[in-house]
Amino acid sequence: MAVETPVCDFGWQPPPFALPGTDGRLHTLGGIAGPKGTLVMFICNHCPYVLAVLDRILRDARDLQSIGIGVAAICSNDAEAYPADSFPRMKEMAARDGFPFPYLHDADQSVAGAWGAACTPDFFGFDAEMGLQYRGRLDASRKQAAPRDTRRDLFEAMRQVAGTGRGPEAQIPSMGCSIKWREPA
């Protein structure tokens, strides 16, 4: 079932985290923050919405890092029900595809819950003071990638944040697969 992200809550401050990365290190929100802003993406290994645009996510992450935006991705899906999203498989994907950012495992789903993550992909773009400025889509892609010349909504929004400290007022929600929550015990 496809899910859309909520409208951007401008200025919202995220709860901190410390999560293991596929690189073998423990990463904190403060540690990934960039001097001009931070992008945290909730993604996973198996979602067709993510897989359709993974090359664009990697491109935009590299381009944003080059202008001072810190970037990380988090997988919060229930790995028991969805083994493709297990930490070993996350390590394989990050290595195979050359992720230029930390890929973090939220095994207990506490970060996704605290942040209100809705789907994969779900993009949280923050200014330099860690106030939320973007909660929109990557571009017009859905389960299939949009044409190559499609406007880069996420990149343009975060470039604006890096330059002005403010995200665009008009944002189109991201759409993707719902976060795969664990069944309550």
- Each residue of 136-160: pLDDT tens digit? 999 999 999 999 999 999 999 999 9
From 131, 156, 155, 130, select the one nearest 60 (Cα to Cα): 155
Tens digits of residue pLDDT in 86-124: 999 999 999 999 999 999 999 999 999 999 999 999 999
Q: Which domains are present in the chain?
A: 2-178 (3.40.30.10)
CA separation for the pair 159, 140 (Å, rounded): 18
Lowest mean pLDDT among 22-31, 144-153, 176-185: 176-185
CA separation for the pair 90, 167 (Å, rounded): 30
With a threshold of 0.95, does the pTM exceed it?
yes
Rounded to the nearest 5°, which phi and psi values hold at 73? -125, 150
Mean per-residue pLDDT, 63-87: 97
Q: What is the pLDDT of residue 185?
A: 67
**Please, what is the average pLDDT of the chain?**
96
- How far, rounded to the nearest angstrom, does the alpha carbon of residue 51 sit from its chain's CA centroid? 13
